[in-house]
Amino acid sequence: MKRYLTLEDGTVYEGQAFGGSSTSAGELVFTTGMTGYQETMTDDSYAGQLVIFTNPLLGNYGVSLADNEDLEPACAGVICRQLARVTDSWRASESLDSFMQRHNLPGISGIDTRELTQKLRTKGSMRALITDEVLPAEKLPAELIQDQIASFAAVKNQQRPYRIPGSGFTIVVVDFGAKQSILRELIKRDCNLVVVPSSSTAEQILSFAPDGVLLSNGPGDPQNYPDALPMIQKIQEKTVIFGICLGHQLFARANGAQTFKMKFGHRGFNHPVQEVATGETRFTSQNHGYAVDAASLDQTLLTKTYVELNDQTVEGLRHKKFPAASVQFHPDASPGPHDSVAVFDDFIAMITAQQEEKYAQKK
């Protein structure tokens, strides 16, 4: 069955339908990961986006429930060059096509993803529409995509706090769209987790007596989360803070820095990042369309800790006064690479240092 991808510049691509049957609009973005399509599709940071996979073959190892970053896919649709006809993995519980049908997530194959990616690199990310019939580009209002992200955020904020008991430090995770792999890394470190909605106030968060607070990843423009800024400002004076991806951007904005929309963003598992203090280079997993403005850091109490080597964008920050830090990349990195997983140990070390300081002051 034929299916069409219409871009806001009027370009129409014809391909083959797979997955769900729904019409879907979103911001068209590309990811360069060679594996991890299931993790990408269920990563809440992709809410409201149509994802182009540059790896030419999709679905060859099927889908396993254990690899989900959330219970359901968050992206608006999937574009690929070729859908695998055979699934071959002992871990697979179903095929990618079956998984997408079950969640009514539309996909389109047979697309020249190389040409499409080159277009986005030249012109930047743009709105697009997946349909079973050709529709004009004016059916793509910018508000439609933002409404999808807003609806996603509203669902997230309906949840109540929940606990994942542990014997170590109490960490409150502010859930803007947290990946399960982030929670898994904290669980590995025996943390006692309390996951709270992104709408939580500083007072609500501090009522759990946290040893540290983690600001998670999530979708969209950090400017659309104004209520998070006063929350962060109050909490960083009381306890250790660590931000990842969107959490990194919100941490920066709460401390006076600015953010901007990138031309086509960073998405994939092969982005080189350099630690400023040591000069050490790591390959990282990334998924973001916004970044912190480096020039805006001069008037803040933030110092840059990591930079992306391809475009020199800010990849990490640390507060000069408070025990607070953040990274733009994903140190949890599921399925990989795992070069930066020790960043979670740095977070725990910050908490340990603060606890020791408090103990010394009491003596």
pLDDT at position 137 is 60
Rounded distance between C-alpha atoms, residue 256 and residue 243, angstroms: 15
Rounded distance between C-alpha atoms, residue 297 and residue 318, angstroms: 11
pLDDT at position 329 is 97
pLDDT at position 78 is 98
Is residue 351 scored above 90 in pLDDT?
A: yes
Query: Do 223 and 191 meet the contact criterion of CB atoms below 8 Å apart?
Result: no
Rounded distance between C-alpha atoms, residue 358 and residue 41, angstroms: 43
pLDDT at position 152 is 65
Rounded distance between C-alpha atoms, residue 347 and residue 124, angstroms: 35
pLDDT at position 150 is 64
Is residue 57 scored above 80 in pLDDT?
A: yes
Phi, psi of 32 (to 5 degrees): -100, 10
Overall average pLDDT of the 127-141 stretch = 77
Of 68-77, 85-94, 205-214, the range with the highest mean pLDDT is 205-214
Is residue 75 scored above 70 in pLDDT?
A: yes
Overall average pLDDT of the 61-78 stretch = 93
pLDDT tens across 166-192, in order? 999 999 999 999 999 999 999 999 999
Query: Do 200 and 174 meet the contact criterion of CB atoms below 8 Å apart?
Result: yes
Asked if 2-155 and 159-362 have one fold, the answer is no
Overall average pLDDT of the 43-69 stretch = 94
| Sequence ranges of the binding site for L-glutamine | 45, 218, 220, 246, 249, 287, 289-290
pLDDT at position 8 is 87
Q: Which CATH code is given to the segment(s) 159-362? A: 3.40.50.880
Domain 2-155 in CATH 3.50.30.20? The answer is: yes
Is residue 141 scored above 60 in pLDDT?
A: no
pLDDT at position 302 is 98
Catalytic residue positions? 245, 330, 332
Confidence of residue 335 (pLDDT cuts 50, 70, 90): confident
Overall average pLDDT of the 99-124 stretch = 97
pLDDT at position 336 is 80
Task: Give the three-class secondary structure for 200.
Answer: coil
Rounded distance between C-alpha atoms, residue 127 and residue 53, angstroms: 16
For tokens 């999530």, the residue is 218
Domain ranges of the chain: 2-155, 159-362
| Sequence ranges of the binding site | 45, 218, 220, 246, 249, 287, 289-290
Average pLDDT of the chain is 93
> Pick the residue with more confidence: 269 or 249?
249
| Alpha-carbon separation of residue 159 from 199, 281, 306 (angstroms) | 10, 38, 33
Tell me which residue of 28, 29, 32, 27 sits closest to 272, measured CA to CA. 32
Q: Rounded to 5, what percent of the chain is helix, strand, coil?
A: 30, 30, 40
